[in-house]
Structure formats: C-alpha cells, structure tokens
Amino acid sequence: MRKGREARRSIPAVVLGGTGYVAGELLRLLAGHPTLSLAGIMSDSRPGEPVGAAFGHLATVFPLETFKSQAQIEAIIEREESTAIFSAAPHGAAAALIDALLIKSEAAGRKPRVVDISADFRYRSAAEYQAVYQHAHGAPARLQAFSCAVPEHLRELMTPHVAHPGCFATAALLASVPLLAMGLATPELFVSAVTGSTGSGRKPSDGTHHPMRHSDLYAYSALSHRHAPEIVACALAATGIEPQVAFVPHSGPFARGIHATVQATLRTPRDSAHIVGALREYYAGSPFVHVSDAPPRVKEVAGSNYARLSAVSDARTVAVMCAIDNLNKGAAGGAVQWMNRLYGLPETAGLTAPAPGWT
C-alpha cells in the first residue's frame, strides 16, 4: 500500500478502450470517485468526438470531454508524476498499447500504475497466454510486472501493475477459492454460470441482439470456454492448489449480472450451516463480499461492486452460489478497487453505492 501525499492528492486517470461497455462503466465510476479524476479517455477511431455521443447517460457528467488519440494520452502520462491507467482495450491489442505507454512514461521518469481488464496480462507466461488465445503475446517482457487475482484473494501486492480476472472467472473464483483454501472440498470443480448480454460487448451480434436473447437461455462454449484455464491459474495462485475445472457458461435474457454455481465434493461431511459459516469466516473483512443463508439474486448486485454468496450441502456435495455484476465487480469496479489499493486509498473509495435493485 502507498500512503501519504500520493493518497491525499487528486490522481489523474486515463481510460483505454474507447467506446466499449466496460470503458463507459469506468467513466461512470470515475465520475463519483473522491480521488481519481478523469484526465482522458482514448479512442483511436473517434478522437475529438464528444464522450456524450457514445455514452448518452454520461453527457451531463462529462459535457466537455472528448475522446483522445494515443498521442494525447501519451502526453498526459509524460506530464503527470503518476497516472492511473485503466485498460479496457480488447485482448490481443491491450498489451502492445500498454507497453508503448509505459515506454514513454519510463523515458520521462514517470511512474504510472496500470490495471488491465483485458486478458493480456492474466497469465504468468507468454506460452500460457498463446495456448489459450492462439496468438503471440504483445509484450511478454511486461508479464512479470503484473499480478492477476480477485482483490479479495491477494492481500499483499508485490507488483506495480494488476490484471483483473474476467467476469466469469471473478464469480467462479469468489465461490470456489474458499473451498480450496480451507480444505473443504476436493479440487474437482463443476461451474455453471449465466451472464447478461453486456458480457458480449457493445458490437451487435446474435448473442446481444434483444429479439434473439429475450426470453431465452442457452449454453455456449461448454467445457471449452477460455475463462476455464484462467480460473485454474488464479485458483492455483490464490491457494497453491491446482483444480480441475469443468465450466459451462450460459447466455441469460438480461443485460447486467452473472449468477454462478460451483459444485464440488466435500472432503468430510459438512452441513450447509458449516459451509456458510466458513464462507463468512473467509471473507471477514472483505467489504464487497456478503454471505447469506438465502440464495443470491442478480438484482441484489447488478450495477454495483458487491458480490453475494450462499451455499448448500447434502453432506457429500457442496454447491456455492455467487451473484455479481459483470461490468462492475467483474470488470470496471474490480479495476477501481485494485487501483485504490495501488495508490494506498481506501479500498472502498468510489465503490460503495448499492445496486439499484430494479434494473
């Protein structure tokens, strides 16, 4: 944690990734943050255009803000002593872009902090990344400068930059890591999760088009989704145990949120009350994770940085349910939570607004 002068002053923040849903959610969170202040948002395809043209709900908050080019973002980072860089750029493009910005900042003697929301820095080696994404890594020399974890699972941060896990992975890890870390279950995890349409990105497709998605539910990439090896890698880093993960994602008929169920075999018989109590113990002191006896609902968390967990057991099998918002806790909110920690700010800064409830 970095305390003192750096934590008290206004900290300039830039957003990479332009007009996507996650970038828009980052802007919304930055608008209400007490310390992080938007210095620029980058879009190479729309430089000079008003931010409000892409994000109508933010037009009154950022009435004069326009999208900036990479050169303009570089100038900000070279000028400021330390800039909070949020990268919502696509995987495959984020690494090279971040590397270019860090090269410029290093040459100017600056010390920015980066939280990457793409997949580019979620693996410890370029070979692991290439095995999942089928193309070479854009900046392999930078990998060791990033840690990847859900904030609640990494208490001590030893790197200057962070990669936030994907939204599916965040939900699955919140549910499963306590089972592994506390020795409650064997390391064979069966994960079923349903996500809202915003998880597919802003570009229209059959997966996001409302007439196709409304009143429907279907699985996709069953047992082959690219978040499965990410769940394995992050669980191993958090617990020292490498689980086997069978993951089946689903598309749900709502815009925001994820509901994940993780099933595993208990090592010794435990009832539901014991598992719920263990979850409460594990997440004691984690302000954004709430454990309850009742099953979590997506409406309880959609639009917020909170996660809700519950569990049931038949003494042999345990099922842990987790509900999060995919754009917030699973992406932009988790990234702000990490940036707060990188700058020694209260972890909850700018993130305590509850879910609307009636989305």
Amino acid letter for position 116: D
Give the relative orientation of helices 167-181 and 272-282 as an angle to the nearest 10 degrees: 110
Closest CA to 83 of 68, 93, 63: 68
Is residue 193 helix, strand or coil?
strand
Please measure the distance between the N-terminal and C-terminal CA atoms of the chain and give it in whole angstroms. 35
Active site (annotated) includes residue 167: yes
- DSSP sequence for 88-131: -PPTTTHHHHHHHHHHHHHHTT---EEEE-SSTTSSSSHHHHHH
Residue type, 31: A
Q: How many CB atoms lie within 10 A of CB 351?
A: 23
Dist. CA 33–CA 336, nearest whole Å: 9
The backbone torsions φ and ψ at residue 143, rounded to the nearest 5 degrees and listed phi first, read -60, -40
The whole-angstrom separation of Cα 127 and Cα 135 is 10
What b-and-e string marks burial along 245-279, b requiring 16 or more CB atoms within 10 Å of the CB?
Answer: bebbbebbebbbbbbbbbbbebeeebebebbbebb
3-state helix, strand, coil in the chain (%, to 5): 35, 20, 45
CA distance 140 to 286: 33
Q: Which of 148, 167, 234, 322 is catalytic?
A: 167
Cα gap 102→113, rounded to integer Å: 9
Q: List, by residue number, the catalytic residues.
A: 167
